[in-house]
Structure 1
């Protein structure tokens, strides 16, 4: 899980890790001062040290039935803190205090090291770290640029922007999430929608790249709207640009040429918070205010849908299920609502009964969002 630790006077953004008490091993994956580190610990390397005595209980499996197990987040933070603290001498050398992650290109080209905790006589807690791999050039967080050929026919007419020309804004407000808000050279603020690594489905166990699906939906909607209505629809996030990255491929020859990759797209700035985020962070005393403000949000969403429906478009997938929900609806700093594309929606005009069914599905989703989900979530706040 992602957590932020302030250690050694420096922010350490811990993305995830692994622990196995049977094999007596763990690793912690984190960022420090714009560099990525993966620190591995094996019981064979640290046994019979003060570090081992503290570390061994922290890799025990969590039992949710016990008080300690219910506080598994704290146990995970303690494990990450212990491993990082044992590595501080090496980390200070490899990742000293510097200005970092200024542009989006800095994120996409992050130096990475793998470290191993080993026994060392005379060291604090009897251990130190050694470099086992690196430095390597890797994208930060879970970013993964893709080849241009995957988007044939979807990129025509869209401005291309070099990732190093995009300044990242407000990243320090929430280190747990990848950068989203960027400043374009012309002064415009946009949202970066980046390509990420595939993830495993909880239901099927199959690997799937949801960010790729979502971005393709945005590009298909853009292509369709350019044909039907070149004027943007207020409240519907539109594509502003394609973010390009250049990466040198190691092909085994002495001369390696850089390859142009797509890192993601720029869309209208929608604010950072989805409706789910807004409700999660609201205080008990402000629930009535949220209900009052939500009337304007609903009106804005309905206006967007009326425009889309007039073109035969909808937020339904091929099965007739609408993707309008608390995660696809954003609220910006001016308290305006925005609809964003998820991983599926109808990007080609429909007509007749098929379109009517999609219109009804969209409007039903809006009713459920504002008349059922929102009041129910706010009621939980009042009841606490």
Structure 2
């Protein structure tokens, strides 16, 4: 039985919201579960997890049981391990206890490494005697998932990285790295394998492939023609001119805050790899759909001079990049939606790496705020909830006028206690990243259903769920 957990990529089916930690611009993500986990004879089954920052996670289910536990794994298994003060950012990995092999992917000094370890290559060494017990997949009696990761996964990461250090230092020496967005989009990548020096019975890392260029954190630029709502006069920012800020605050998450050449601080929303539905094999791309939504908001605010929509988050421009080359452009994991041709927009075949926003959602979810409410403040919270409901009703009307809904599709990315944010000033707002944009005929069909679902969700949340939660604290 195989196991993998990650913070990034792959497939979808149905969706359901799980109770999750709150997020900030650079905090741990809000986890939403999608896709039924399966294990196939010819390969892994996948799940996908998406948060309101647009990050995604894949896992290959194993004996660690419930989906909720797997979702939790996504949050904790991405790890940062330090060797000589150098962060080694572990993204995900796989363990196969039965066949005794594993692999892991991580970054060091702006270079991506995938390391494979198999029994046949390390058997009989001191390394093997330490490594083999760390492949255990099943939870022991009384052991929590967190305990399992602390005892198994993190020591496994440290063991593999430490025995690869000579090769890692040669291929990724200490230097400035990931300075601009372009550095992230063109990250050198190597495939390594641990092998044994038979003369000394020592294990070391051997290069099997590389270097190749890949986008870190699942970044993958696409043609400008992928976007139906791309404005003709939108400003362009070259990826190499955007300096990444605050990346050291949390290496687990992609870069989000950048500084332009003229000193403006913006928020970056990236184009990422596509995802595949296990049941249908259909390729979708939530990152492109989300960017499309922001572009429509931008055009809508320009047409109607809508102050609220403009305030929600202004699109400052698109981030452009050069092609990664034939070896890494539009892999099997990437699709381009059928949109208008780039010539129709009046812009040449520019690759788009993402967009720059004036701001991104900040604050705690309504669920978290309610959880923290003191019994002495319940009366105040009840009064405040009326104000929050009024703010959300006003907000949703503006979004509906732009053809944007939270309900309307056969999913659970709905208005609920996890998709309403309360900022530091106590104002309620909707998490735009969870919304759905309708286009053309689909929009007309979606409108009545979307409005009805959103209206019902607001009523259910503020007239049933919230009073019930607050009553528990009296």
TM-score bracket, shorter-length normalisation: 0.7 to 0.9
Equivalent-residue separation in structure 1 for 2:166 and 2:249 (angstroms): 28
Q: What residue is the counterpart of 1:84 in the other structure?
A: 161
Aligned equivalent of 2:323: 247
Task: Flag the 1:352–1:208 CA change in 2: closer, same or farther, 3 A.
Answer: closer
Matched, 1:263 2:339: no
Secondary structure of the corresponding residue to residue 101 of structure 1 = coil
Give the match for residue 24 of structure 2: none
Partner of 1:361: 453
How big is the shift at 1:11?
Answer: 1.1
Which residue number corresponds to residue 345 of structure 2?
Answer: none
Q: How far apart are the structure 1 equivalents of 2:369 and 2:167?
A: 39
Describe how 1:111-150 pairs up with structure 2 within 5 A: 111-121=188-198, 126-150=202-226
Give the deviation of 1:47 after TM superposition. Answer: 0.7
Q: Larger RCO: Structure 1 or Structure 2 (Cα < 8 Å, ≥ 6 residues apart)?
A: 2
User: TM-score, normalised to structure 1's length?
Assistant: 0.80
Rate the CA distance shift 1:287–1:127 in 2: closer, same or farther, 3 A: farther
How far apart are the structure 2 equivalents of 1:281 and 1:85?
45
- How far does the alpha carbon of each residue in 1:233-266 deviate from its partner, in whole angstroms, 9 at most, with x for none? 3652232211111125249xxxxxx973111112
Shift of 1:269: 0.9
Partner residue, 2:365: 275
Structure 2, unaligned runs of 5 or more: 1-5, 7-77, 328-347
Q: Provide, for residues 325-365 of structure 1, a one-character-per-residue CA deviation record: whole Å limited to 9, x for no partner.
A: 45544556666554314362346799999866644432433
| Counterpart residue number, 2:137 | 61
Deviations 1:263-321 (A, max 9, x none): 11122312555627x82998787995995877765554333224345x37442454498
Does the aligned pair in 2 maintain the 1:274–1:326 contact within 8 Å? Answer: no
Q: How does 1:1-384 map to 2 (within 5 A)?
A: 1=6, 2-63=78-139, 67=143, 71-74=147-150, 75-121=152-198, 126-201=202-277, 206-229=282-305, 231=307, 233=309, 236-250=312-326, 260-271=350-361, 275=365, 279=368, 291=381, 298-309=389-400, 311=401, 313-316=403-406, 318-319=408-409, 323-326=414-417, 328-330=419-421, 337-339=428-430, 340-342=432-434, 344-346=436-438, 358-369=450-461
- CA RMSD in angstroms, aligned pairs only: 4.0
Aligned length: 372
Alpha-carbon distance change, 345 to 68 in structure 1, aligned in 2, over 3 angstroms: closer
User: Tell me, what secondary structure is at the counterpart of 2:309?
Assistant: coil
| Distance (Å, rounded) in 1 between the aligned partners of 2:254 and 2:102 | 24
SS in 1 for 2:208: strand
Aligned to 1:141, what secondary structure does the other structure show?
A: helix
Post-superposition offset of 1:63: 3.5
With the length of structure 2 as denominator, give the TM-score of the two structures.
0.66
Q: Is the Cα contact below 8 Å between 1:317 and 1:345 reproduced in 2?
A: no
Q: Which residue of 2 is the match for residue 255 of structure 1? A: none
Q: Comparing 102-111 with 323-332, which one deviates more in the overlay?
A: 323-332
By how many angstroms is 1:162 displaced?
Answer: 1.0
Q: Distance in 2 between matches of 1:284 and 1:5?
A: 36
Deviation at 1:6, TM superposition (A): 2.1
Judge conservation of contact 1:165–1:185 (CA < 8 Å) in 2: yes
| CA spacing shift, 1:207–1:77, aligned 2, 3 Å | farther
- The farther-off stretch of 217-226 and 29-38 is 217-226
Residues 160 and 244 in structure 1, CA contact (< 8 A), matched pair in contact too: yes
Deviation string 1:102-134 (CA, Å, 9 cap, x unpaired) is 2211111111111111112576x8211111112
Deviations 1:60-116 (Å, cap 9, x if unpaired)? 322475627673322111211111111112212222222222221111111111111
Cα pair distance change 1:12/1:273, threshold 3 Å: farther
Q: Is the contact between residue 244 and residue 257 of structure 2 (CA under 8 Å) also seen in structure 1? A: yes
Does the aligned pair in 2 maintain the 1:37–1:113 contact within 8 Å? yes
Partner in structure 1 of residue 337 of structure 2: none
Distance 1:354 1:150, change over 3 A: closer
Do 2:229 and 2:295's aligned partners in 1 also have CA atoms closer than 8 Å?
Answer: no
